[in-house]
Amino acid sequence: MKMDYNNMLAERIGPEGIPINALTALTPQIEKATRAMKEKRPQMAWRDLPYNQAQIVKDIQAYTAQMKPQIDAFVVLGIGGSALGPLAVQQALNHPFYNELPREKRGNNPKLYVVDNVDPERLVYLFQTIDPTRCLFNVISKSGSTSETMSQFMIIQAMLEDKLGKEAARKHIVCTTDPESGNLIAIAKKEGYKTFYVPSAVGGRFSELTPVGLLPAAFCGIDIEGLLEGAAQMDAMCQQDDIAKNPAHMFAALHCLGLAQGKNISVLMPYADSLKLIAAWYGQLWAESLGKKYDLDGKTVHTGQTPVNALGSTDQHSQVQLYAEGPYDKIVVLIGVDEYRETITIPNTYADMPSLGFLGGTTHNQLLKTMQTATEYALTKAGRMNMTITLPKVTSQSVGQLLYFFEVATAFAGELLNINAFDQPGVEEGKDATYALFGRPGYEAKKAELDAAQPKDSQYVI
């Protein structure tokens, strides 16, 4: 994996870029953050995932080999990282129309469905699509109190037990949860469900390289050992003290400097359909980790960047107009691929038409890469901050590298911003309000607070 940040610098794009002396002036904070990343590594359990999962991988492989012949579909019940991560890896590494392929063309692997939201239509329509008695449902929740996931689980548990009986239904549910505490581990033990564990110190948005992501990937035939190998390769790069040799630290430093200059939107724009959902996964990681009201000293800072996902070349026709001529408030990160896994050639059908003839004999591979180069040029000419990440090819190893790269970059940005990148108090407020409105015991004070809120004025409702 390579990262080119030339077009972040003022010497390339003009006054809206980052002056080299600003990067130099940040050296004391960079050195402090680098020390903190080393000192706090024992608290960042996700950083050890590339090295400590050999037995877990064996358990997953044995379980998937046993269960694959018995099921037609593997259904993930999860939300946040528990849904975005498995979807991103599936999109990256498997056929884009995976579920539509005949089973033998899927490597005799089951279909994959990920159900995250509680829109009532979603689950009803899923039941119209699948035979639940031929599915394995993976309930993912560390706490076992995630309202969306646990409500889905209770509906499916009741349906399976009604159709199959309690004993047979048990084999159709597998739990991924905390090894020691929470509702789901208690339920799993009581009901006798097969269970995989998320290390207690690994938060949801950093959990893709745990069974949260590895189990769904393995059921779909993805090389999970390759994912971990790639992450380990990136970890070696990210332990460099010299920021000029550490891509994740440099990515974070440039984004923080850009933020200080008013660039409060981070656009991730892959030029590969396979990487489209990596951008959505990054959106949660970057937003939930860095969007904070208070810093570590208790000072009100309201910091963070708004992540936006785009896709090249699709969004050259929907968003790039804004990026090139709108406010100077964005950093655009392009992700390219040196070698696509397939090649398709454009025929010389209309050679006599100059506006079409130039395409004949070239490939979509060349066309997409050229469009990426053109977008980079247009943004640079307009004086807009942009940078490019390039994968040699989309493989398990390179995807593992990319996931781990963004995780380290996020943690390092948190250190530079002097915030806690691993909590989410803003999310908890919404959860608590939901619990209170539903009358969950223990949330009476929050319910009273909600009841006392100022009512809306009907004159402002049209």
Among all residues, which ones are annotated catalytic?
288, 317, 431
Please give the DSSP secondary-structure letter assigned to residue 440: -
**CA separation, residue 253 to residues 247, 257, 279, 330, 380 (Å):** 10, 6, 20, 15, 20
Please name the helix (run of DSSP H) or strand (run of DSSP E) that holds residue 29, with its range, or none. helix 27-39
* Angle in degrees, 0-180, between the axes of helices 396-417 and 27-39, rounded to the nearest 10: 120
Instruction: Judge whether 33 and 41 are in contact, CB under 8 Å.
Output: no
Angle at 422 between CA 449 and CA 273, to 5 degrees: 105
Backbone conformation region of residue 298, classed left if phi is above 0, alpha if psi is from -120 to 50, else beta: left
Task: Supply 336's token pair.
Answer: 């390219």
Q: Which of 148, 145, 160 is nearest to 191 (CA)?
A: 160
- What's the rounded Cα separation, in Å, for the pair 243 and 251? 9
Give dist(CA 388, CA 336) in Å, integer. Answer: 7
- The alpha carbons of the chain give a radius of gyration, in whole angstroms, of 24
CA separation for the pair 123, 119 (Å, rounded):
8
Distance CA 170, CA 164 (A): 9
- Structural contact between residues 406 and 285, judged by C-beta atoms closer than 8 angstroms: yes
What does DSSP say about strands 173-177 and 135-140: parallel, antiparallel, or unpaired?
A: parallel
Nearest CA to 157 out of 128, 132, 182 is that of 132
Map residue 121 onto helix, strand or coil. helix
